[in-house]
Structure 1
Amino acid sequence: MKKILKILLAIVVLLVIVMFAVGKKYHFETSTVINAPAEKVYQHMNSMKSFNEWNPWMNLDPNLKLDYSGTSGEVGDKYCWSGNDKVGKGCHEITALVPNQKQSTKMVFKEPFESDATSDLILTPEGNGTKVTWTMDCELDYPMNLMKLMMDSQMEKSYGSGLKSLKAISEK
């Protein structure tokens, strides 16, 4: 019995050490090159409605409820969503726009857990095309920060799928 308790205690101590070593801040980014000028790519990201044409999370719930507010294509353009367990509930708002260069947003997640994150879509010239870099930054409280150890692969799937869709509609 003492041996089992020692093993359990060692596991708990190891988890606590890992939890603090991992830290709270999380940054993810990925990019792709789109064979289209920045002006054309920007048309698909300069408003929340155009963003949602290729947003990878829109496909996770066929009954997703969206409520748009603010002025489309301007800072403050926003949508709130409510859906199944895969998408939860929250809001996504444009916080900065630099025409043909950048879109910055803030996401507030309400369900399945409360959290917030910031995200940027950055356009830079790349040969005859446009490099699109999509970033996300957030801070995860302890012990939720342990999710960081598995988040990159999930984020790459989601963001990679979104960028693939953005590429497809921008290259038409």
Structure 2
Amino acid sequence: MPETGDAAPDFTAPLANGDIEEFTLSDRLGDEAPIVLAFFPGAFTGVCTTEMCTFQDRIAAFNDLDASVYGVSRDSPFTLNEFREQNGLEFGLISDYNKEIIDDYGIEMDFADLGVYGVAKRSVFVVDGDGEVAYSWVSDDPGVEPDYDEIEAAVEDLA
């Protein structure tokens, strides 16, 4: 799992942004950094919906800091586009359908009692323009939301 100061694992994955296009982290660093990667276990679930909607409620603050926010989950890009539309999300959602990003970031968790395996732990990484992790937070409790003020402060420190 990347810690503050580590190089963020690069990846290419489908981006649900109303359409579906390719997203490569390293290609976006120059124009969009800092980049907030907010991993969540699954679309259309209670805490995940609350978290993504909270990022939406705060998107102006991130935009003012010239930061980009992306949600990341194992859901298909088609599911993520529907999730975006139903919740009025203005930022893109990255589909890690094959679980490669979750593996590279070391944040896999299971809901064994539900028969759900290999989803992302709720976690947030802020990646600076050099591809370095400037902030990381990972929760072992899927019911806990991140500290949004802390994330915003980490982004502001990069401004």
**What is the TM-score of this pair, normalised by structure 1?**
0.28
Q: Greater CA radius of gyration, 1 or 2?
A: 1
